[in-house]
């Protein structure tokens, strides 16, 4: 299917350029051309963009589709099949909010594989889904009964990575340190060794896959960097040495501000041990994020949706928090478009509105460069296209049309 969107008031290309009164010609799911007064074949459908701002579809590069975002422990006895059905239901509000690409950062069993495939087949309405399968972590490194993905030593880490690659994952996720959500171990403490991280990264890179490494504390962050990870996830205690190493090696930061901000009003509903760890992180969050931005680290947007009190369909809040912490709206949009695509090695295929790239397009009422909050307002996102297909359209009140 081919169509052209004529006379769009403003086009945020995604690479820093902004066009006025421009057209976007879409052919076979990709942007064929972009610019003012485009010449297109006579039989091409014409749509009109007057009154709208166009921009690339948003990315949310870190979530957990098997979880609900509900109260701690609410689904610990839920059947995997039930979690899969819930995951499918949660995919729809994500794409309806303007997030056209979502990444699952660790999931039990085959839930994420099933969701990715059913979305791609058109059975489930949702965003493009990228998956890592199991998070590769040390034995006993996380709460829960599932031990798949646990490793002991570099050979074990290499084998676990190869198994995920063989299953067809889109990236590899490592657990380099403890976590706020796991009892018994401090979130700052290193877990995977340098040798284990290096082995996993070598295998991923051989297969052309990026590695995202969950790392809170300085030692685990340093091991992730030296071991070859491409993206530091969370990265709460970034010291000067690690910031310089990240900049020198073009390593990105996936800060997941939303997951910490979302829980703050509900600390009394968390287990005491988790609330204490959460407060410790939040005390460092804003200053650390600002230091990373000032140092010129390429930041990537991801919400950690699915974690406690962090629901799906609110991905643009991450950009709101970034702006509150000093980024310009243009910088925040970059984290959720071209920088996000780069964190999976897909920036040559999507992440900006350019000829040859996937036509993941949002038509927005208002100007996100002037007010980033418009992306989260009812009716702010007017139309959502994924690979050139109109997934949803909304009236000014936010009611879906058709």
Q: pLDDT tens per residue, the chain (402 residues)? A: 799 999 999 999 998 899 999 999 999 999 999 999 999 999 999 999 999 999 999 999 999 999 988 776 677 778 999 999 999 999 999 999 999 999 999 998 999 999 999 999 999 999 999 999 999 999 988 766 677 889 999 999 999 999 999 999 999 999 999 988 888 788 899 999 999 999 999 999 999 999 999 999 999 999 999 999 999 999 999 999 999 999 999 999 999 999 999 888 989 888 898 888 889 999 999 999 999 999 999 999 999 999 988 999 999 999 999 999 999 999 999 999 999 999 999 999 999 999 999 999 999 999 999 999 999 999 999 999 999 999 999 999 999 997
CA angle 334, 386, 305 (to 5 degrees): 60
pLDDT at residue number 247: 97
The yes/no answer on whether domain 2-56+351-393 falls in CATH 3.40.50.970 is: no
Least Cα distance to 67 among 36, 108, 97 occurs for 108
Six-digit token string for 42 = 């006579």
Six-digit token string for 115 = 């969701």
Is the separation of the CB atoms in 180 and 142 below 8 Å? no
Q: What is the pTM of this model?
A: 0.95
Q: Which fold has domain 58-342?
A: TIM Barrel (3.20.20)
In the block, which residue shows the tokens 């041990």? 273
Provide the sign of the torsion angle of the four alpha carbons 167, 168, 169, 175, taken in this order.
positive
What is the Cα 207 distance to its own chain's centre? 21
Six-digit token string for 187 = 């979130």
Domain locations along the chain: 2-56+351-393, 58-342
Where do runs of H (alpha helix) occur along 38-106?
80-96
pLDDT at residue number 72: 67
pLDDT at residue number 148: 86
Structure letter (DSSP) for residue 228? T
Longest dimension (CA), the chain: 66
Phi, psi of 300 (to 5 degrees): -120, 140
């Amino acid at each position: 299917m081919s169509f052209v969107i004529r006379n769009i008031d403003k086009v945020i290309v995604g690479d820093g350029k902004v066009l006025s009164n421009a057209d976007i010609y879409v052919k076979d799911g990709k942007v064929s051309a972009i610019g003012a007064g485009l010449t297109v074949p006579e039989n091409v459908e014409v749509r009109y963009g007057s009154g709208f701002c166009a921009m690339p579809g948003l990315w949310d590069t870190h979530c957990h589709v098997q979880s609900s975002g509900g109260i701690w422990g609410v689904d610990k006895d839920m059947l995997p099949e039930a979690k899969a059905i819930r995951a499918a239901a949660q995919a729809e509000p994500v794409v309806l909010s303007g997030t056209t690409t979502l990444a699952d950062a660790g999931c039990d069993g085959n839930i994420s594989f099933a969701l990715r495939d059913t979305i791609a087949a058109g059975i489930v309405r949702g965003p493009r889904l990228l998956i890592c399968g199991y998070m590769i972590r040390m034995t006993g490194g996380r709460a829960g009964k599932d031990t798949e993905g646990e490793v002991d030593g570099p050979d074990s880490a290499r084998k676990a990575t190869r198994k995920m690659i063989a299953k067809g994952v889109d990236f590899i996720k490592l657990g380099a340190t403890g976590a706020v959500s796991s009892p018994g171990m401090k979130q700052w403490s290193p877990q995977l060794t340098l040798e284990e991280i290096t082995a996993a990264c070598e295998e991923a890179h051989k297969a052309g896959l990026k590695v995202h490494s969950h790392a809170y504390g300085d030692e685990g962050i340093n091991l992730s960097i030296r071991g070859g990870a491409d993206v530091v996830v969370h990265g709460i205690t970034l010291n000067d040495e690690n910031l310089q190493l990240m900049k020198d090696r073009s390593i990105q930061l996936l800060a997941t501000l939303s997951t910490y901000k979302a829980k703050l009003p509900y600390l009394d509903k968390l287990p005491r041990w988790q609330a204490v760890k959460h407060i410790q992180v939040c005390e460092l969050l804003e200053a650390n994020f600002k230091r990373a931005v000032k140092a010129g680290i390429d930041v990537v947007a991801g919400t950690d949706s699915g974690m406690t009190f962090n629901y799906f369909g609110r991905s643009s809040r991450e950009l709101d928090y970034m702006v509150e912490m000093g980024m310009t709206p243009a910088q925040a949009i970059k984290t959720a478009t071209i920088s996000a695509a780069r964190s999976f090695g897909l920036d040559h295929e999507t992440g900006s509105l350019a000829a040859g790239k996937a036509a993941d397009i949002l038509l927005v009422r208002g100007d996100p460069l002037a007010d980033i909050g418009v992306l989260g307002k009812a009716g702010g996102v007017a139309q959502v296209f994924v690979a050139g297909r109109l997934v949803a359209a909304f009236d000014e009140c936010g009611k879906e049309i058709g």
